[in-house]
Each structure stands twice: as C-alpha cells, then as structure tokens.
Amino acid sequence: MMAKPKSDRRIFHNNEDCPIRNVVAHIGDKWSLLILFALVDGEDRFNSLKSRIEGISQRMLTQTLRDLERDGYVNRTVYPEVPVKVEYCLTDMGKEIVKPLYQLVVWAGDNQDNIKKARDRYDTENA
C-alpha cells in the first residue's frame, strides 16, 4: 500500500499490499491488455485469440489467460465435447476494468506520435 510519510511524499512498499504492484502491474504487462480488449468483443476460443493478437506465442497466451483467470478478469468455460471446446470471456470484474483502461488506450492513441518524437529526440541527444 502507498503510505504518506511526514514529507507528504508517497512510499511504495514492495509487498502484496501495494495496489500498484499487486493489481496494476499484473494487467500492465505486454499481453494482458491486448487479451482483455480482444475479449471485449465477446467470448472467444484460444486459437482465435492467438490469431487476433499478433506476435503472442501459444505458451504466453496460455500463461496470460491463466493469470487473468486467477485474478478474476477472465472466465474459462470447458464444454464436454469431442474435441474439447474451451471458451474465454470477461467476467463482470473484467468488463469493469476495461472501462478505465479504455481511457488509457485512447490517450495512448492520441499521444503515440508525441511519444515517438520524444524518444527520437532523447535517443539523438543521448547517443
């Protein structure tokens, strides 16, 4: 958890009580947001998700889906068919979290060019 010492500056503790480390870092990895936003379109199967998220490996998709399921954002449904059918969908909490994250995605789209320019400027000045 973040605590404010006498100087009025927050301290970010390195433990599970810190919401930034415990929650935000989990969804802020390379693949979680992409999977969450892919599932905004509705339930989907593993191979369909893999084809829609370019560059993700089977192993990474499996692990990230498990992590999202563990955190309560994604629900995994196994249908007793031959072959087995598995579908993933957002839980209520998953639907809730994508709302504020959408603002971040919009902001990223609006500022992508400025960020690229800042990076180029920094790289040129620090080469």
pLDDT digits (tens, 9 = 90+) for 26-85: 788 889 999 999 999 999 999 999 999 999 999 999 999 999 999 999 999 999 988 889
- What lies within 8 Å, CB to CB, of 56 at 6+ separation is 31, 34, 50, 64
pLDDT in tens, 54-68: 999 999 999 999 999
Domains of the chain, by residue range, sit at: 19-126
| Beta bridge partner(s), residue 78 | 86
* Integer-rounded Cα radius of gyration of the chain: 18
| pTM for this prediction | 0.81
Angle made by CA atoms 111, 68, 115, in degrees to the nearest 5 = 10
Protein fold of 19-126: Arc Repressor Mutant, subunit A (1.10.10)
Long-range contacts of residues 99-107, Cβ cutoff 8 Å, at least 24 apart:
101/27, 101/33, 101/36, 101/37, 105/33, 105/37
